[in-house]
Amino acid sequence: MSNVDNIVDKRLFYLMLSIGQGQEFANFMGFSNPSKDVEQAEIFDVASRWALFVNQNILHNIEESATWMLDLLEKGDRLTNPKEELLPLFISFGVSMLNKMLENENISIIINEEALISWKDEDNEQESENNE
């Protein structure tokens, strides 16, 4: 992997930590602010990936695994902060790490088409309710 690729991976990792705060995290870690158009495209890309993870039940699995890890740390008296404070950090890390592996083609996701259809139907129902 080239140095440029590594820098892009690193920026994307920080962006994926949070849909709303990813740009702030990247900026805090030394990346300059992009143009408004690029920023909007990046936010859309991050939100789309998070939506995919929600829709395919991947986010649930990350949250469950993060909870189990925190349970282990708590039982071993290794937590300095409450689990409730640390859980979002573990989840964000899990999402960013998984996305990095997807982007680097270390892993792939098999899309559950039924879940996608169901999710789109729910969106259409909510949109219809909002228009009424």
Residue 15 is predicted with a pLDDT of: 98
Q: In total, how many domains does the chain have?
A: 1
C-beta of residue 63 within 8 angstroms of C-beta of residue 93 = no
- Convert the pLDDT of each residue in 10-22 to its tens digit: 999 999 999 999 9
Neighbours of 60 (CB within 10 A): 11
Q: Which residue has the tokens 């349970």?
A: 71
Range of the domain at 14: 3-131
- Convert the pLDDT of each residue in 82-95 to its tens digit: 999 999 999 999 99
- Convert the pLDDT of each residue in 54-84 to its tens digit: 999 999 999 999 999 999 999 999 999 999 9
Residue type, 43: I
